[in-house]
């Protein structure tokens, strides 16, 4: 049997056919075009799924479930996407809507949660029952997996790890609070810190890497550090300290077997983890017991597809 995973993003709808070995055997995608009615987006998800089945010589009876990973707040139990800031969901029962196209059972989950589920089933945390994935992108996404199940609270809104406050009264976060971990440890936060340092230090070699402030990205300070620039080294040191604070909080609360780091900043891989470990080893509460392994996520964009496909389990 196969399952289908749908990674619904603000830019693209990515659909994958996943086999029993939890590998993607075929994919299709199309633009999300979020300015449309939600019924049109649901139609595209369903039609892409059915086309994928047909094009691989299968029938609907060969597919046990369709899973959808969506940004926003999701009632996975009832198949309802309650709200997403970028896609026009408003308590939309996606499970019911799909019945107009197929009888295959449909399941839903938050996109960060299902990406974590993908890493737990088939990625960096494969073989582990308890894992957490942190995605360091425009924001800080979090997915908590306990006993191979997503932990999202009684209302589906849990797991927002990026919105724990680590600096009370600190930098403004888009969620409305101040001092959220996301404001300091996202790529957006790192870019802000890099730009501030460049403005204070016109002599910094960072200006050679990013000739204008608009050229700054999540790699700029890391590239400057590797080039030996002391200003870049201070930015990375500050960023890593903030990131380690949040990661240590998460480890102390959940004690997962594996904590995966994904997203753009996490492409620094083991280099970033090696910078983090001295802070985490010093500050974590647990002693003389097996410790959480921190690993780079390995599935990339496929994590959302595979994780969504696993929702049917």
Phi-psi bin for 6: left (phi > 0), alpha (psi -120 to 50), beta? Answer: beta
Q: What is the CATH number of the domain that holds 74?
A: 3.30.420.40
- Token pair 């870049």 is found at 232
Residues β-bridged to residue 31: 12
For residue 63, the model assigns a pLDDT of 97
Percent of the residues in the chain that have a pLDDT greater than 70, as a whole number: 100
What is the average pLDDT across 216-237?
A: 98
In this prediction, residue 255 carries a pLDDT of 97
The whole-number pLDDT of residue 313 equals: 75
Assess whether 108 and 34 both reside in one domain: yes
Same domain, 157 and 270: yes
Q: Quick one: average pLDDT of 138-153?
A: 92
Domain extent at residue 227:
128-296
Q: What is the pLDDT of residue 267?
A: 94
Residues 186 and 52 in one domain: no
Residues 38 and 156 in one domain: no
The answer to whether residues 266 and 182 belong to one domain is yes
- The H or E element that residue 195 is part of is helix 187-200
Annotate 203-261 with DSSP letters as a single string: TSTHHHHSSSGGG--TTHHHHHHHTT-HHHHHHHHHHHHHHHHHHHHHHHHH--SEEEE
Question: Could you tell me if 169 and 286 lie in one domain?
Answer: yes
Q: How confident is the model at residue 312 (pLDDT cuts 50, 70, 90)?
A: confident
Arithmetic mean of pLDDT over the chain: 95
The pLDDT of 111-135, averaged and rounded, is 95
Provide the pLDDT for residue 204: 97
pTM of the predicted structure, to 2 decimals: 0.89
Residue 6 shares a structural domain with residue 148: no
> Can you give the pLDDT at residue 216?
98
Please write down the HEC assignment for all residues of 62-94.
HEEEEEEEECCEEECCCCEEEECCCCCCEEEEH
Please state the domain count of the chain: 2
Number of H helices, E strands in the chain: 10, 13
- 222 and 237, same structural domain? yes
Residue 25 reports pLDDT greater than 90: yes
Q: Does residue 85 register a pLDDT over 80?
A: no
* 155 and 106 share one domain: no
69 and 7 part of one domain? yes
CB 141 within 8 A of CB 134: yes
Helix (H) or strand (E) holding 131: strand 131-136
pLDDT at 148 exceeding the cut of 80: yes
pLDDT digits (tens, 9 = 90+) for 161-198: 999 999 999 999 988 999 999 999 999 999 999 999 99
Same structural domain, 117 and 132: no
pLDDT in tens, 251-290: 999 999 999 999 999 999 999 999 999 999 999 998 889 9
Q: Are residues 262 and 167 in the same domain?
A: yes
| Band of residue 70 on the pLDDT scale cut at 50, 70, 90 | very high
């Amino acid at each position: 049997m196969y399952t289908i995973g749908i990674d619904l993003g603000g830019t693209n709808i990515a659909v994958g056919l996943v086999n029993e070995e939890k590998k993607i055997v075929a994919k299709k995608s199309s633009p999300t075009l979020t300015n449309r009615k939600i019924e049109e987006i649901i139609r595209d998800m369903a039609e892409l799924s059915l086309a994928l089945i047909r094009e691989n010589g299968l029938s609907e009876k060969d597919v046990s479930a369709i899973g959808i990973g969506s940004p926003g707040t999701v009632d996975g139990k009832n198949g309802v996407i309650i709200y997403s800031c970028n896609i026009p969901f408003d308590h939309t029962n996606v499970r019911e809507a799909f019945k107009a196209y197929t009888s295959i059972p449909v399941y839903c989950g938050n996109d960060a949660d299902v990406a974590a589920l993908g890493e737990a089933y088939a990625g960096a945390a494969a073989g582990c029952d308890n894992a957490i994935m942190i995605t360091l992108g425009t924001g800080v996404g979090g997915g908590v997996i306990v006993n191979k199940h997503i932990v999202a609270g009684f209302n589906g809104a849990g797991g927002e790890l990026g919105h724990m406050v680590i600096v009370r009264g600190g930098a403004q976060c888009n969620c409305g609070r101040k001092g959220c971990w996301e404001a300091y440890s996202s790529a957006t936060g790192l870019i802000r810190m890099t730009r501030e340092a460049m403005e204070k230090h016109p002599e910094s070699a960072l200006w050679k890497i990013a000739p204008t402030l608009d050229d700054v990205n999540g790699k700029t300070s890391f590239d400057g550090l590797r080039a030996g620039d002391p200003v870049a080294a201070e930015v990375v040191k500050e960023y890593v300290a903030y990131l380690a604070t949040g990661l240590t909080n998460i480890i102390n609360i959940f004690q997962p077997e594996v904590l995966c780091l994904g997203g753009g900043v996490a492409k620094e891989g083991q280099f970033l983890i090696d910078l983090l470990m001295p802070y985490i080893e010093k500050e974590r509460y647990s002693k003389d017991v097996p410790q959480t392994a921190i690993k780079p996520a390995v599935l990339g964009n496929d994590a959302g597809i595979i994780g969504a496909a696993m929702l049917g389990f």
